[in-house]
Each structure stands twice: as C-alpha cells, then as structure tokens.
Amino acid sequence: MQLTIWTYEGPPHVGAMRVATSMQGLHYVLHAPQGDTYADLLFTMIERRDHRPPVTYTSFQARDLGADTAELLTQTVARAYERFKPQAMLVGESCTAELIQDQPGALAQGMGLPIPVIALELPSYSKKENWGAAETFYQLVRTLLHDLIPPPGSGPRERPAGQPPRANILGPTALGFRCRDDVVEITRLLAQLGIEVNVVAPLGACPYDVRLIPEADFNINLYPEVAHSAVSWLQRTFKMPATKIVPIGVGATREFIAEVAALAGVDPAPVLSKEQPGVAALSASQSRLHWYSRSVDSTYLTGKRVFIFGDATHALAAARIARDEMGFEVVGLGTYAREFAREVRAVAQELGIEALITEDYLEVEAAVAALHPELVLGTQMERHIAKRLGIPCAVISSPVHVQDFPARFAPQMGFEGANVIFDTWIHPLMMGLEEHLLGMFKEDFEFHDQASPSHLGKASLPAATYAAQAGEPRAVASSAPQEAVAAPVAGDDTPHWAPEAEKELSKIPFFVRGKARRNTERFARERGVTTITTETLYDAKAHFGR
Amino acid sequence: MSTAPISSPRQACHPASELTVLRERGQQTVFCGLTGIIWLHRKIQDAFFLIVGSRTCAHLMQSAAGVMIFAEPRFGTALLTERDVAGLADANEELDRICVTLLERRPDISTLFLVGSCPSEIIKLDLSKAAERLNARLGAKVRVLDYSASGLETAFTQGEDVALKSMVPLLPETDAKQLLVVGSMADIVEDQFQRIFTQLGIESVRFFPPRRATDLPPVGKQTALLLAQPFNHSTVRALMARGAQLLSTPYPFGAEGTTAWLQAAANHWGISEAHFAQVTAPLIERARTGLAKYREQLVGKRLFFMPDSQLEIPLARFLQRELGMVLVEVGTPYLDRQMMAPELALLPSGVTLSEGQDVDAQLDRVRASRPDLTVCGLGLANPLEAENLTTKWSIELVFTPIHGYDQAADLAEIFARPLRRRAQLVV
C-alpha cells in the first residue's frame, strides 16, 4: 500500500476512455461498479465536451455479485451495440472488475457481434492512465489493420506519382494537454511544407479512418506517451518511418520542420530560411519568442532558477526552452512517466542535475522546497505546491484542470505554441521594475516581500510564504499531511544564525532569499562555522556568486 | 438483472396519493459513497478519512474535490498495489504502517476513519478488525472507526449515512430529554435552527454529525430525532435501536417543509400553538416574501429530476407546492418509504416517481418529454444543454445551504438561475 493524496495519473481504464472519447463510431463497454461513471465528468466538465463519452458501464452493485456478473456484462454489450451501432467496440474492466475476473473481453468477442471487438487487458494495480491510452490505441490499430498487413519482406509504401506527401498525426487525445490546438498548429506547418495530413488519430478519427493509416508516407509521433507503441508497430509492420522530435519550442519546431521535410522528401527552405537562429528581426519569423526573449526587458530573466516537472514529453521540451530560449537555469527536472525515465535522466545529466522520477507528489514537493526555485513549471499539482511555498508557477503538462482547456487558441507546439509559452511562463514572474525597486527599498507598505507581484492583482501570498522562502522548517503539527511530510526538518548540524545576520538575510530579495540561506548554511557547515554572522553571509555570497 | 427496464407500477404506501413508481435497473450515473468524504471532512474538523482502495478511488476524490484537494485535505487513499491484491504483502501490516505513520505526523487528528471501497470489499480486507487492532495499539490518543462507502453498496449521499452510522456506537448514553438533529447542514443553517429552537423553548438541542469528532452528542430513550437530510436511514435506525424516537415529518426545505419540521419538534415538546405561531409567523412571512419573485419565474415550468442524492422527492415537493412547478418525473437512487412517507403524502397524485436508473432509457424519456428544466449530474448536464435542454446540476444541492426559512429563496434561485440565464443569452 502507498499513501496517496494526489495521483498524477488516473487508472489505465481512464486512458482507454480517453481514446474512446477522442474517436467517433467507437464504443467502450466497461465492466465497473456503480460510481465509476465519475470519469464522465472529466470529459463533460473539465474538457467541456457537449456529448456523453461513448462509454457504457455495467454498474454492478453488491447484489449483482451473488448473481451472474458475466451475464450482466454480455447483456450490457448487447444493449450498447443495439443502441449505438458502433463501427468497433472496446471491452474492458476497471480495477474492481479485474478482481472478479469475468474476462469481459473474451466474453464479448464470443458474442458474434458483426463488428471488431477489441478486448483490453489493462492491469489496474500496476499500470496507469497514459499506459492505458497507449495500449488501447495500439490494440485498436493492430486489430483494425490486421487484414491490411503487407507480406513479410515488403518494402515501404510507394507514393503514387503526382500525389503530394502525406503524414498521419498520431497521439492527440481527449483530455490531452492542448491537443486540440496543437493539431491545428502542426497541420498549418505541414501545409506550408506541402505535406497533407492523412489521418489524425485517435482525436477525431473513426475506426474507418484508422484503416487508412497505411496510406500515408510517414507518421508524426506527436505525443509519444500515447502513440509510441502504435507508431513503432507501424514502423515494424508497415515500414512507416516516424518523427522523433516533438515540436514544442522554437528550436524543436525548426528541427521538426527539417525532420518532416526529409521524411516527405520536400525542401524545408521556404519555411526554415526565415527561421535562422539569431535573426532578431520580428518580421522575419513566424515565431515571436526569440525576439521577445532577446529584447532587453527579458535580460532580467537570465539565470532565473526554474524547476520542471510533468509528463516526459512536456518536461523535456520545457527544459530545452527554459535553458536555450529563455536563458533560465534549470535546477530541477523530473517526470512521473516511468516509461520515459531514461530519456529524462539523460537530459538531466546534460544539465548537470539529477532527474526526479516519481509518482509521489510529496517527493516532488520536498524537492521544490529544497531547491528554492524562482519559477515552477509543472502540472496542476505543482501549481498548488508552488502556491503553498509562494513560488510563481505555470502549467506545462497534464494533469490539468478546467482553466487549461481554454476557449482561446492556445497551442504549445509550433511557432504559435512558442508565443503562447513565452507569455504563459513570464506572466507569473514579477516584472523587472518592481523586482528592482523591491531590492532597493524594503519597507514599503504596499510593495513588499509578502505581496504578490502587483500585476497579478490583489492575491497575496499565503502567510507561510515568508517562512518557506526563507527556508525555515514548517510546523510539523500542520493540518496537512503533505506539509508535514515535505517539511524540511532541520538537522542537528544546522549552524545558528546570529540575529543581525538573520536581519541582513531579510534584506535580500525574497525570491533568492531561500537559496541565499541554504548556500550560507552550506558554506558555514563546510568550514565548521557554528554561528553565522553578517560576514559569513557575504563570504558565502562571494564564494557562490548569485 | 432484468433487461425489462420497468416493472409493474406499485401503489404508494400512502392511501391519499396514487403514486406510480418505476423501478429501473441498468447503467447508473451516480457517484459512489466515497464522495461523502468531500463534505464530511470539512464538517468534522478533527477527523481524517483514509480510503483503502485503488487508483480509481484516489482519482475520483481528486476529480470530485477539484481544487480543494490541495487546501490542506484531511483525506487520503491507502493505494492497493499489485502486491496487496495478490496477497504478497500482508495488507493488515501495510495498513497499520500507513496509519501509524500518518498519525505520527498528524497529532491533531482525533478520529481516523478507515473507509472501505469496492476493491477492498472484493478482496475481503477486514477494516473493522484493522480498526480494532489500531485502537488497541494507539490507546486513547486517537479513535479509529471504519465503514464501507463502496459503489457496490452506496450511492453518493449514502456515504454520509454509513459514516454517521459508524459513529453511533460511540455516542454517550443520556436519559435527558433532548432533540437530536441528524444530517450534515451548513454551519450557518445549524446556527439559525439553534436560535429558533431556543425561541420555541426547546433548550437541549444537539446536531449530528458534530463539528468535532471529540464532541459527540449523547443519545438515549428521551432523545427525539429530527432528520435534516433524507438519506441517513441506517444511521436513524441505529439511533432508534439506542432508544431514540423518530419525529415523522417532511424535510426542512421551503417555508412549508421547515414549518412542518419545526412543528413536529414543538408538538413533541408540548409547545402551545400560539407560541409556535408567534415565533414562526415572521419567519414564514420573510420566506414567502423571498419566494414570491421566484414563483413568477418558475410557475408552470416542467421539471424532470434524474436520480442523484435522495433529495429529489423533498425538493420536488417544495418546487411543486411553493413555486408552482409541474413534475414530469422524479427519480431517486433509493426510496425508503418509511423515511419518505410524510413527503410522499404531499406530492400531487399521478406524479411519476422512479427508483434506480437505466440511464439510456431515462434519457429517452427526458428527450421525449422535453422538460423546461432537468436536474441531473455533471456527466449529463452539458450533453443535455447541447441538445437545447436547460439543466440544473444536482450536486450543487449538497454543497449549498438550502435548509430552513432563510434559505428557501436561495433554494428557489438555484432552479431559477439556469432558466433566467438561457433567456438572457442572445448568442
């Protein structure tokens, strides 16, 4: 057992629901107890969908357990088929049904329905939501393309003469972070290169569309968390090449353009020639990020310490943007997606830090508390960790809540995505002038340490902020378990702060104060200093630099 | 399960009304009882609710609790892993480890509820044994209770019922004459009722659940029960088993329901008609003033309740009798005829009641009757709006102060607002 208050991912059957809800003409019968229909709300409320998810639950109750739950399942399948007449059906179980072992997939396949029935085996007690989505999509693609598999030894598909190059966009789903607008942005980019989109799946596709997948020249693996299994199977079976670069950020988008142009056999120059690194002319490029980032008001962003956490795709993209395109210092990088731990570790190593691979948000909170970043880029979860610690935060990855399914066009990918990212990440940070004045004058009644940036309106930071910023241990008797867990407990070897040094520390701008405290204590410990004076503070400052 | 969705209509117990009850089986779109924790952990300030369940349970809690999950929650999930399910780990040892760790870190917790879920029920994890064991181990510092709020056994608000029932054996014994009000209400509403009872001359009034688990009300042969909520049947029966007496009355929604509810207590205490009228007349007048403008907006509007919380019948009674709405169908997840008898007697004859759900069949009826307002859960609300049907999401009724005189107009506003909004928007 594991104590959990927040989970970064739902169970795997929610991943299967995401695939089913993304598509049309596909129905999902889920063997699940009464109450598991809560998952409908993810789609109808958080994503504001205007239709019920195409999911029928058996809704068994205690009284059914004495009877025949298998019978209940076959009746539910039959009625769902009669009512919805889907082109294909997914059949699977939730965590509770997994324990009663009715074999719903096999039962449904034995019913002789005149459509493909895909039996889902999703182990609820060892796997999670993204794995469930990837597995469901993979099984669906395999089943629907089964009779189209070319004989062994066949080469890749020959493009008919006169036909423009075509790509599939694979991976976007319902409840995916900004999938809706990413697809629009990437489709636009491909059009500029003269590449047609063949099929987008699962988002918006029907089973019949899935059967058209092999008619493209290559696949765009837009969201590896969902599409990696299907893409690699298509690569092995249909010899379809696939992209490896996810186009989030200006640099990654440029590389992606070069990559798809090579796969499609087209010349990227018409698009890429205007996108040379260092061309700081606003008019030359489709992206504004690199000019905004080079303009002098962004100078104060240099070296701002940022902590990044999310799914692997978005965390890796954010790390690159943060360092190479914003000029931040990445002090923490992690993911909850164990399947991609290796890739994240490699990038962290390159950044000179150790990757945090965990699904335990208490660990994430402890890491944020220990690192004292000036900005947190994470999920909805980190938003609340950051709020508690009084650190500016922006969301870069699922899990997200309703505000991250916005009405406006808000991609993360492509050049417009980079524009959105620049604005989103900068917004929570204090503006340059205010930051300067706070460093100069500390005793203003309106603008002070514990007021939030004035451009964010009246929201003031929580009272705990000052202590958290200053790196002081929080009360263990707090009413929140995660607070107690994550509270940094001072060790016995923590040097003592002389009152005048403590006072001097409070004059340091609040967003770097936590780091200054930590560095000074480390400096003192390394030198056996037991009482920190004002001199120790400045000695440490000289030693470490800012 | 019978695929025939509807069995033959049954006569209501109440001879005065001829009520048709459709009994349906099929797909249910209700929450499980775990969701009760979302308001109970706020109501009972020194308790911690530890669900023993799967990632689905944890995911439900964070999806339902939305943003609140981060505002210092007093609930969590002991997540069953593969090792627990396969019996490789001793689930009892694991649970003890988690509880002890949790309680060491949270010295402010006075009561720990171990909450059973579907997975823990299926693998037959004995939480009552675990509670016993932990009580022995922890001594007097913390009290450990257990109940099951699985979807297999409970729907939505029944999660409160099973939680309260687990506390009944702990209530001290008393022979004093007292009134015990059963069911979670908003703090402000409790305070209002407390004032009214005092004015009536009923001195000894306690509320259950209490605001602190260490402050449990006593119960005994001289205790009279007034039910604030219609969904706590098993708790009420457990209290009656301890000698308490149930005052049979409609529930305190609207001016009429609240008056009848208070009247039941006043009668039991032998308070004179004149004094009762003197105390309640200005309150009734004020409630009616508040309700008047809503009557204009709601009168004649056709209303369809899908099952959610068991509040449907009392609310339908209020909306029909005090605001002139027309009842198309009133669905409830569970109908306890004894607890609901005074309400059923007030419903117009010929109203269609349904118990349980077969959601697709019920949606067919909604579409066929095209009511002016459909009260339903959030999984159905937006899809129905997209079909140009006005909806009122039902969960709000559990999270809003709606009881008593001074909330009668607020309660009406909840139903009037979506209709007003639809009329106002021109895009």
Per residue in A250-260, pLDDT tens?
999 999 999 99
How high is the pLDDT of residue A386?
87
More confident residue, A459 or A331: A331
Answer whether residue A479 shows pLDDT above 50. Answer: no
How high is the pLDDT of residue B9?
36
More confident residue, A421 or A465: A421
Distance CA A382, CA B70 (A): 10
Q: Which of A:451-490 have CB within 8 Å of B?
A: 476-481, 483-485
How high is the pLDDT of residue A485?
34
Per-residue pLDDT of A399-451, as tens digits, reads 998 889 999 999 999 999 999 999 999 998 876 567 767 767 766 666 666 66
How high is the pLDDT of residue B260?
98
Distance CA A62, CA B156 (A): 15
Unique residue bearing structure tokens 């069949």: B361
**Mean pLDDT value across residues A191-218:** 97
Chain A positions touching B62 (Cβ under 8 A) are: 6-7
**Mean pLDDT value across residues A70-89:** 96
Answer whether residue A465 shows pLDDT above 80. Answer: no
**Residue B379, phi then psi, degrees to nearest 5:** -75, -20
Chain B positions touching A47 (Cβ under 8 A) are: none
Chain B interface includes A33 (CB < 8 A): yes
How high is the pLDDT of residue A449?
65
Cβ pairs A/B, distance under 8 A: 212
CA distance B15 to chain A (A): 31
Q: Which of A:191-250 have CB within 8 Å of B?
A: none
Chain A positions touching B69 (Cβ under 8 A) are: 5-6, 384
Contact assignment for A478 to B3 by CB distance below 8 Å: no
Q: E strands within B277-393?
A: 302-305, 326-332, 352-356, 373-376, 391-393
Q: E strands within B159-278?
A: 178-182, 205-208, 223-227, 245-246
Q: Which amino acid is at B299?
A: V
How high is the pLDDT of residue A451?
62
Answer whether residue A492 shows pLDDT above 70. Answer: no
Chain B interface includes A51 (CB < 8 A): yes
Contact assignment for A58 to B33 by CB distance below 8 Å: no
Chain A positions touching B107 (Cβ under 8 A) are: 477
Answer whether residue A288 shows pLDDT above 50. Answer: yes
Given a contact cutoff of 8 angstroms between Cβ atoms, the answer to whether B412 and B291 are in contact is yes
Give strand pairing partners of B375. Answer: B305, B392
Q: Give the nearest partner residue to A59 out of B27, B78, B79, using CB atoms.
A: B27
More confident residue, A172 or A7: A172
CA distance B356 to chain A (A): 11
Question: Could you tell me what percent of chain A has a pLDDT over 90?
Answer: 69
**Mean pLDDT value across residues B257-273:** 98
How high is the pLDDT of residue A281?
58
Answer whether residue B107 shows pLDDT above 90. Answer: no
A75-79, A274-278, A467-471, B402-406: lowest mean pLDDT where? A467-471
∠ CA(B165), CA(B169), CA(B170), 5° rounding?
Answer: 110
How high is the pLDDT of residue B1?
37
Chain B interface includes A39 (CB < 8 A): yes
Task: Find, in chain B, the residue whose alpha carbon is nearest to that of A55.
Answer: B27
How high is the pLDDT of residue A67?
74
How high is the pLDDT of residue A371?
93
Whole-number Cα distances in Å, A377 to A416, A460, A468, A486: 19, 20, 18, 19
CB atoms < 10 A from the CB of A505, how many? 18
Given a contact cutoff of 8 angstroms between Cβ atoms, the answer to whether B281 and B369 are in contact is no
CB atoms < 10 A from the CB of A497, how many? 20
More confident residue, B360 or A450: B360
Chain A positions touching B153 (Cβ under 8 A) are: 61-62
Task: Quote the tokens at residue B145.
Answer: 């209770």
Chain A positions touching B33 (Cβ under 8 A) are: 35
Distance CA B162, CA B166 (A): 6
Answer whether residue B16 shows pLDDT above 60. Answer: no
Contact assignment for A59 to B26 by CB distance below 8 Å: yes
How high is the pLDDT of residue B333?
94
Q: Which of B93, B367, B382, B387 to mutate to test the interface with A (most CBs of A within 10 A)?
A: B382
A310-324, B11-25, B318-332: lowest mean pLDDT where? B11-25
Q: CA B358, B363, B364, B366 torsion: positive or negative?
A: positive
Unique residue bearing structure tokens 């059914």: A64
**Mean pLDDT value across residues B45-54:** 95
Q: What is the largest CA-CA distance in chain B?
A: 70
CB atoms < 10 A from the CB of B175, how many? 11
A4 band by pLDDT with thresholds 50, 70 and 90:
confident
Question: Could you tell me what percent of chain A has a pLDDT over 70?
Answer: 88
Chain B positions touching A100 (Cβ under 8 A) are: 122
Contact assignment for A477 to B378 by CB distance below 8 Å: no
Q: Give the nearest partner residue to A33 out of B84, B91, B151, using CB atoms.
A: B151
How high is the pLDDT of residue B396?
92
**Mean pLDDT value across residues B104-115:** 90
**Mean pLDDT value across residues A217-238:** 97
How high is the pLDDT of residue B102?
87
A331-335, B70-74, B79-83, B162-166: lowest mean pLDDT where? B70-74
CA distance B102 to chain A (A): 7
B69 band by pLDDT with thresholds 50, 70 and 90:
low
Given a contact cutoff of 8 angstroms between Cβ atoms, the answer to whether B168 and B238 are in contact is yes
How high is the pLDDT of residue A468?
39
More confident residue, B261 or B7: B261
How high is the pLDDT of residue A509?
77
Pairing relation of β-strands A2-4 and B75-79?
Answer: antiparallel
How high is the pLDDT of residue A475?
32
Q: Give the nearest partner residue to A44 out of B27, B64, B383, using CB atoms.
A: B383
pTM for the whole structure: 0.89
Answer whether residue B411 shows pLDDT above 50. Answer: yes
Q: Give the nearest partner residue to A41 out of B1, B80, B378, using CB atoms.
A: B378
User: Average model confidence (pLDDT) for chain B?
Assistant: 92
Answer whether residue A488 shows pLDDT above 90. Answer: no
Distance CA A11, CA B57 (A): 9
How high is the pLDDT of residue A442?
66
Closest CA to A10 of B51, B34, B55: B55
How high is the pLDDT of residue A469?
38
Task: Quote the tokens at residue A473.
Answer: 């241990």
Closest CA to B48 of B99, B94, B92: B99
B74 band by pLDDT with thresholds 50, 70 and 90:
confident
Contact assignment for A34 to B155 by CB distance below 8 Å: yes
How high is the pLDDT of residue A24?
97
How high is the pLDDT of residue B251?
98
Task: Quote the tokens at residue A383.
Answer: 């938003």
**Mean pLDDT value across residues B298-317:** 97
Question: Could you tell me what percent of chain B has a pLDDT over 90?
Answer: 83
Answer whether residue A248 shows pLDDT above 90. Answer: yes
DSSP 8-state assignment for residue A244: -
B72 band by pLDDT with thresholds 50, 70 and 90:
low
Answer whether residue B210 shows pLDDT above 60. Answer: yes
Question: Could you tell me what percent of chain B has a pLDDT over 70?
Answer: 94
Per-residue pLDDT of A181-202, as tens digits, reads 999 999 999 999 999 999 999 9
Q: Which of A297, A311, A360, A492 is catalytic?
A: A297
**Mean pLDDT value across residues B290-303:** 96
B66 band by pLDDT with thresholds 50, 70 and 90:
low
Q: Long-range CB contacts (< 8 A, 24+ apart) of A471-478?
A: A471/A372, A471/A513, A471/A514, A471/A517, A471/A518, A476/B105, A477/B107, A477/B108, A478/B72
CB atoms < 10 A from the CB of A258, how many? 14
Per-residue pLDDT of A120-177, as tens digits, reads 999 999 999 999 999 999 999 999 999 999 998 888 888 888 899 999 999 999 999 9
Alpha-carbon radius of gyration of chain A: 26
Contact assignment for B81 to A71 by CB distance below 8 Å: no
Distance CA A214, CA A217 (A): 8
Chain B positions touching A67 (Cβ under 8 A) are: 1
Q: Which of B28, B100, B115 to mutate to test the interface with A (most CBs of A within 10 A)?
A: B28
Q: Is A297 a catalytic residue?
A: yes
How high is the pLDDT of residue A546?
56
Given a contact cutoff of 8 angstroms between Cβ atoms, the answer to whether B406 and B258 are in contact is no
B189 band by pLDDT with thresholds 50, 70 and 90:
very high
Q: Which of B56, B74, B154, B376 to mutate to test the interface with A (most CBs of A within 10 A)?
A: B56
Q: For residues B73, B78, B81 and B87, what is the CA-based torsion angle, rounded to 10 degrees?
A: -170
